[in-house]
Structure 1
Amino acid sequence: MSEPTIYKIDYHDGDVLRWSLTDDGAVYTIDDAYTPTLYVSGHANGSLAEVRSVLGDHPDVAHVSVVEERVSFRHDPESVLQVDVVDLDAVTGIARTVRQWGDPGTYRCYNVDLSREFRYCLETDVKPVPQRNLTCLQLSVVETDLASGTITACTIDDEHVSGSGRAVLETIADRLARTDPDVLMLNTSDLIPALYRQAERLDMEFELGRLPGWQQLAGKSTYESYGQVGHSPARYNVTGRVIIDRSNTFLWNQTNLAGCLDLVERSWKPLQELSWSSIGSILTALQIREARDRDVLVPWRSWRHEQFKTMRQLHDADRGGVTFSPTVGVHETVHELDFSSLYPNIIVTRNVSPEKIRCGCHSDRTDVPTLDYSICDERGYLPDVLEPLIEDRDAIKTELRDTDDENRQRILTGKSSAIKWILVSCFGYQGFSNAKFGRIECHEAINAFAREILLETKSILEEHGWQVVHGIVDSVWVTPRDEQEQTPLDALTEHISKEIEIRLEHETSYDWIAFVPLRDSDAGALTKYFGKKAGQDEYTYRGIECRQRSTPAYIARAQKALIAELDTCQEPEAVCEELRSWLDRLRRGAVDPSDLVITKRVSNARDEYTQSTRSVAALDRATERGLTRAPGQDVSFVVVDDDKRSRDRVALALEDPTTYDTAFYRELLVRAAASVLSPLGWRTSQIKHFLSDHTDTSLRSFL
């Protein structure tokens, strides 16, 4: 009989607990022989014998030996130290000790900063995929109860429970005992310490896990990524159950359980770690698995020098993808063509891999357009990581088109979405300074190939009778030229796909599409457009207010209604009449304030703000109620009196405001209307002028 599949690993009181699912619950075994491992290589006359001697006597080291491993994809196997330590907490301490010996760079450490459960799976060859369907229990508590420290109400799945603090804990404990869930889905992981502290105050026995106790795995932190401030909440663990924090799980929110489990199987990151991981860290796990299959160690703090570049190479390399300035206006009979997974396919078809770019064996070649970098003929590791993902997603999309089974569609959609996010991140990862295996030359080469591909595609399309009205990196929008006969797009996309060696797909046909100008210019905004899909009662919205996360629900609905009116009447005046009905509802106070909530991401601590903004007013109100908002977290509010500069300027969404500032929201609505009408030449001033000349109340506003 085969060993049960492990689905979760706990480090508990010095033991490693391996949890496996049974038909009616879960059981664990203890691995008392496991020792985490790191590696040390010597450089610049660093003596491995000396390090081995010192580490052999270290109390946190269980065993030291010399093994043959590759310290990077570009290196052949060499002698390194394999250092087995007594427990997980000793890994980083030993690595820091080693790095302090000798001059900087004398000794380098590997396999140091792997996440807890992933490390165990990687080192013990465990694939943490559950062998049956997971059971789940959802728990949520409102923020004000958490802030007060006393939880007297919660929602368990779809049931609302309230009462004394003791009664609430007893109800949660009873549901856990009856259902014995494998997954706890929490609206915030801060619920874990709050429940345990409440039980302690009440002198109650209470457990969320399958064994007693809870752990804090990481504290909350603030980070910056691509110019945006983000917040990572504290992470907690209970034994035997997977914790999913809905406030800290990008992947679960973007896919579903089927998509997450598909990536668990590919990456070997157990479900709990995968749920809070960034896309980049999951891609890193995939690459680490490929690296270990090739006996390549994982650098602790990667250091990769850039090879010499000429001034011309520096200039040409410092460019992104090609974009064509859109032709502002409304265009009829437009087709959107997209390259399937362009950047991942460039990596695979052009063999763009960190250890193969600018290789020494082909230094005389100029494989990368404009940059003249060489690429080795030998297959790189990165194409081997990405090609199965590309092929599997293509197969999933094909099956999705052919199946009518709703449950199967849900599973396939989740898997496709999960793979899509990994493929989306693979390009940016190559230019990320902390990437374990990234290389800036790969990033530059991918961009260079993409630029050439889009320019060549534009040339072919125009030669065959099509006008390109817009293009962004991997997508082009075309319309027939009046004076020229067109080659059918099906035949043309097939021809271009063969020429480029990457499939060009006919993504969407539009009856019409409108490209929006910049707010302060007549030039087209690259990512703002909307249109009516051909033969469907469906619209596409990109970049405009109804797609922006900060836009209130009422404004978003209004903008979509204005676009529908434009489709029906095709006249700016008719759109303005529709706008009037939405403005009238605002003026009469007929809009529910909950539909006017604005959500903003906090970028600084409160004391770092120098201007009295609406977000600052919301932060002040949150502080007044005992609620904290760290940089990177969201604050949601309704503007109730924009003339004020105090905290009374807004009301928090959780305060259930009953009023709103009509003039403020009128401006938001007119601005949204300007996005709809600006492709026709009507800006904010024309819209306001029309409204001022026509003051009749619209009957539509009472509907």
Structure 2
Amino acid sequence: MFAVDFDGDDVVEWHLTDAGAQSHRVTDYIPELYVSGPDSVLADLERRLRADPAVADVGYDRLYPRLDSRERTEVLRVAVVAPRGVRRLARRLRDDLLGRVSPGSARFYNVDLSPGFRYCVQTETVPVPSRRPRTLRLSLPEKSLADGDLSALSVAGKSVDGDERDATETACEELAEQDPDVLVVSSARLLPLLRDCATKFELDCPLGRDPNRGLERLAGGNTVVSYGTVRHSPARYAVPGRAIVDTGNSFLWAESRLDGLCYLVERSWKPLQEASWASIGNVLTAMQIREAMARDVLVPWNKRRPETFKSVETLHAADRGGFTFDPVVGLHEDVVELDFASLYPRIICEWNISPDTLGCDCHAGRADIPELDYTICDRRGFLPDVLEPLLADRRRLKREASEAEAAGDESAAASARAKSGAIKWVLVSCFGYQGYRNAKFGRIECHEAINAVARDLLLRAKERAEDGGWRVVHGIVDSLWLTRARDDPQSPTDLAATVTDDCGIPLEVEATYDWVCFVPTRRMDRGALTRYFGRTRDGDFVYKGIEIRQRSTPEFVADAQRDLISTLDRHRDPAAVCDRLVRHRTRLRRSDVPTDELLVTSRLSKAPADYDRNTLVAAAGNRSVELGVPREPGQSVRYVVADEDGRGTDRVRLDFERPGVDDVDVGYYDRLLIRAAESVVSPFGWDRNRIRRYLSPGRDASLRGWLD
């Protein structure tokens, strides 16, 4: 099966064929939720539900209420008539029980599963296509979308010549001719606009594969806060027989494209469309739900697992993150970077850390976790069973990518890299999700145990490195940067093998550098943990945490910083970097920089009208509203700064206004250049004040700043 959609109380499966796709209607699917509680509460609930028209059947099952439950519990099974009515019924039942039973005495399970995913896991239907899905790209500029103007539509990567009717006709013809399996759109809002234009021009527009059913809106737009960041989720749509990928709202598409998405579909059993808009945590949760249901464990609707009691000493030891060594600020030559491969997921698997194994009663008194003395059961844990296949697949895919590159098969190499990249993001999130309060199968003690083991491993690796003749110049969580402490140190490869044998987690030589610069904090009082740059032995430059890697940095400033780092590579002299900076400042002052290279990208943290101060992002948000392109909290806005010290919305010009050279505040961008230059020369003790003094009028100019 490739896609699943719902027609009334029926489910329609779509299977890909060589010719296109075939549908299969399922009329006997009945989704289920479960309720636990006192026998009297369940008996009363059963009696009332038997007369409820939204309920198809009521019965009892014996299942495990938690991962660490040793005995099954009798729970009420409620079969729901409408395939998409589970959550609605659960809310009604929960509200009905309020005031009638004590809080927490009745618990609901298997409630908030997305409809397509619920169908797949309940019926054990794997939503993996039998062939590679065909895609069709549809793109429309944001301003045109806001204006409801389809004339600027791009179809399959090509702009359509002509007016709105021509664009609509071209899109309809491509849909009919190509019969795509996946619609890749710049915004899902494009689809109702295309449908309405086709209706207006009396054109047949086969958005879906069922002529009797058209575009369906699944959900409206909403704003959420995730880990302190405000994000906007736009409206979602579905069409029969095809998957819709909204590139503006799909992290996984941006990171791994179709191959990576299809891999995660295979692992999670979330149909392609649901996987495309899901977060990494949502996909990981789907994998965990699959494993839990295979173990006959119920999936809680609302997690209610409080942190266990700890002594003050244990709490002090546990309430820490990963280990870090302050970087030695400056330029270091002949540096080796060693990384533990997939450290946190490997710790989970090697130490069998899982909500159902940590702190077990059967091994009380045994100290398995350093510092914390937590016990770990010998039974195979839930989390290792989820993560081990991902680790094995990533090892295989990285090997396949290397072999394909060596054979000159770039297509196969790209596919393997995309799948490996998708796995990487899931592995990255698995650790943090254990500490996330709403994670269905999270447990803070697991988070603490993983950190404790990681700290111990990094300290052991540091000691082995120093014994091998190396000096640690920086270390953070799972990585060490080393320079020679003596003339004949142990080879990096042998050192990595020694640590691997000692720790049980593979330590790999991630990179060797001709030089690395560790950047100080803005106050210049210590090294910044995640800001550094350098050049590897292969000649590639590495940039971490500096302006180049910040999404708000204009392209012109990022390119200038890249050039300044190349200058530092040639001369190893901060004065030469400042000489080179003059070239970029001169371009800016002469208006030689295209304005599209000066665009700043910022994310709105609140509605434009709710900002108390007229910041640049507030001015850009309000100007966007004035020009008919409303912005929601969590959405990004792109603008050129026209007058930083101005008032109101005239401080900026938006990207779709096509600002000219007269709309540029040169002083603002000059400060950004100085700041980018400071990151490059600050490892040598130069701050922005010293840069300005060096570049002050009347100094002797140097030719090296102008020579390529």
Give the TM-score normalised by structure 2: 0.96
Secondary structure at 1:11 match in 2: strand
1:422 positional shift: 0.6
Q: 2: distance between equivalents of 1:111 and 1:186?
A: 32
1:361 match: secondary structure = coil
Residue aligning to 2:448: 444
Deviation at 1:584, TM superposition (A): 0.7
Q: Distance in 2 between matches of 1:256 and 1:361?
A: 46
Q: Does 1:161 align with 2:155?
A: no
Counterpart check, 1:694 vs 2:689: no
Report the Cα offset of residue 490 of structure 1: 1.5
Q: Show CA shifts across 1:249-271 (max 9, x none).
A: 10111012111111111111111
Which whole-Å CA distance do the structure 1 matches of 2:701 and 2:478 have between them?
47
| Pair 1:521 & 2:524 matched | yes
- String of CA shifts for 1:306-336, please: whole Å, max 9, x gaps: 2210011111211110110000000111000
2:117 corresponds in structure 1 to 118
- On the 8 A contact 1:244/1:275 being kept in 2, the answer is yes
| 1:52 Cα deviation from its structure 2 partner | 1.7
SS of 1:469's partner is strand
- Structure 1, residues 62-81: CA drift from partner, whole Å, max 9, x if none? 01111121111112222112
Contact 2:576 2:704 survives alignment (8 Å): no
Matched, 1:477 2:481: yes
* Alpha-carbon contact 2:9-2:81 (below 8 Å) kept: no
Query: What residue in structure 2 maps to residue 505 of structure 1?
Result: 508
Q: Is the 8 A contact 1:41 1:79 kept in 2?
A: yes
Higher alpha-carbon deviation: 445-454 or 84-93: 84-93
In 2, distance between residues paired with 1:585 and 1:165?
Answer: 40
Question: After superposition, what is the alpha-carbon deviation per residue over 1:162-203, rounded to whole angstroms, capped at 9, x for unaligned?
Answer: 544333322211111111111101000011222233344556
Q: Deviation digits for residues 129-176 of structure 1, max 9, x if unmatched?
A: 111121111101111222122322300012212544333322211111
Residue identity in the other structure for 2:172:
A
| Counterparts in 2 of 1:381 and 1:153: CA distance versus 1, 3 Å | same
| Partner of residue 542, structure 1 | 544
Q: Which moved more, 1:201-210 or 1:6-15?
A: 201-210
Is contact 2:579–2:702 with CA below 8 Å preserved after alignment? no
Kept in 2: contact 1:154–1:162 (CA 8 A): no
Counterpart residue type for residue 85 of structure 2 = A
Map 1:368-379 onto structure 2 (within 5 A).
368-379=369-380
Change in CA separation of 1:263 and 1:353 when aligned onto 2, cut-off 3 Å? same
* 1:97-246 equivalence runs, <5 A: 97-99=92-94, 100-101=96-97, 102-201=101-200, 205-211=204-210, 212-246=213-247
Match of 1:562 among 557, 561, 564: 564
Maintained 8 Å contact 1:585/1:701:
no
Give the one of 74, 88, 95 matched to 2:90: 95
In structure 2, the residue corresponding to 1:298 is in which secondary structure?
A: coil
Asked if residue 662 in structure 1 is aligned to residue 657 in structure 2, the reply is no
The one-character-per-residue Cα deviations of 1:212-258 (angstroms, maximum 9, x if unpaired) are 31111111111111221111111111111110100011011101211
Quote how far apart the aligned CAs of 1:105 are: 1.6
Identify the match of residue 641 of structure 1 among 622, 640, 643: 643
Partner of 2:618: 616
1:15 aligns with 2:14: no
Does 2:417 match 1:413?
yes
User: CA–CA distance in 2 between the matches of 1:146 and 1:398?
Assistant: 44
| SS of equivalent to 1:256 | helix
Aligned position for 1:60: 54
Give the drift of 1:84: 0.9
Contact preservation (8 Å) 2:620, 2:654? yes
After TM superposition, the structure 1 stretch with the greater mean CA deviation from structure 2, 154-163 or 536-545, is: 154-163
Deviation at 1:35, TM superposition (A): 1.0
Q: What are the within-5 Å matches in structure 2 for residues 463-474 of structure 1?
A: 463-474=467-478
| Aligned 8 A contact 2:577 2:705 in 1 | no
- Indicate if the aligned counterparts of 1:614 and 1:649 stay in contact, CA closer than 8 A: yes
Amino acid at match of 2:679: S
* 1:521 Cα deviation from its structure 2 partner: 2.6
Equivalent residue pairs, number: 695
> Offset at 1:645?
2.0
Q: 2:519 & 2:335 partners in 1: Cα distance?
A: 15
Match status 1:675 vs 2:679: yes
Alpha carbons 2:109, 2:299 under 8 Å: kept: yes
Is contact 1:141–1:155 with CA below 8 Å preserved after alignment? yes
**5+ residue gaps, structure 1:** 1-5
The separation in 2 between residues aligned to 1:695 and 1:333, in whole angstroms, is: 34
Closer, same or farther in 2 for the Cα pair 1:565/1:74, shift >3 Å? same
Contact 1:150–1:198 (CA under 8 A) maintained in structure 2: no
**Is the 2:187–2:246 Cα contact (8 Å) retained in structure 1?**
yes
State the SS of the aligned residue for 2:362. helix
Displacement of 1:14 after TM fit?
3.5
User: 1:257-303 CA distances to partner (integer Å, 9 max, x unpaired)?
Assistant: 11111111111111111111000010001111111111111111111
SS at match of 1:546: helix
Q: What is the CA-CA distance between 1:522 and the residue it aligns to?
A: 2.3
Q: Which moved more, 1:159-168 or 1:685-694?
A: 159-168
How much has 1:611 moved relative to structure 2?
1.0
C-alpha distance in 2 between matches for 1:29 and 1:361: 50
Q: How does 1:595-614 map to 2 (within 5 A)?
A: 595-614=597-616
Note closer, same or farther for the CA distance 1:462–1:699 as it changes in structure 2 (3 Å cut): closer
Displacement of 1:455: 1.1
2:153 is paired with a residue of what secondary structure?
A: strand
- CA distance in 1: counterparts of 2:188 and 2:520, whole angstroms: 43
The whole-number CA distance in structure 1 between the counterparts of 2:332 and 2:395 is 31
Q: Does the Cα contact within 8 Å between 1:46 and 1:106 map onto a contact in 2?
A: no
**1:558-597 maps to which residues of 2 (within 5 A)?**
558-597=560-599
CA contact (8 A) 1:581 1:698 kept: no
Pairwise CA distance, 1:29: 1.2
1:206-355 equivalences in 2 (<5 Å): 206-211=205-210, 212-355=213-356
Deviations 1:421-451 (A, max 9, x none): 1100000010111111111110111111111
Q: What is the CA-CA distance between 1:696 and the residue it aligns to?
A: 4.8
Correspondence for 1:74: 68
Q: Distance in 2 between matches of 1:559 and 1:422?
A: 32
What is the CA–CA distance in structure 2 between the aligned matches of 1:672 and 1:700, rounded to whole Å? 16
Unpaired stretches in structure 2, ≥5 consecutive residues: none
Whichever residue aligns with residue 24 of structure 1, its letter is A
Aligned mates of 2:85, 2:584 — CA distance in 1:
63
Q: Which runs of 4+ in 1 moved over 6 A?
A: 697-703
**AA at the equivalent of 2:191:** I
Whole-angstrom CA distance in 2 between matches of 1:176 and 1:350: 52
* Identity across matched positions, percent: 48
What is the rounded CA distance, in whole Å, between the counterparts of 2:173 and 2:81 in structure 1?
Answer: 39
Give the TM-score, by structure 1 length.
Answer: 0.96
- Per-residue displacement from partner, 1:42-79 (whole Å, max 9, x unpaired)? 24x55432222221111111011111211111122221
SS of equivalent residue, structure 1 residue 360 = coil
- Equivalent position to 1:627, from 621, 626, 629: 629
Counterpart Cα distance in 2 of 1:466 and 1:699: 36
Deviation at 1:697, TM superposition (A): 9.2
TM superposition shift of 1:25 = 1.0
Q: CA 1:16–1:698 in 2, change beyond 3 Å: closer, same or farther?
A: farther
Distance 2:658 2:42 in 1: 66
CA distance, structure 1, for counterparts of residue 539 and residue 497 of structure 2: 29
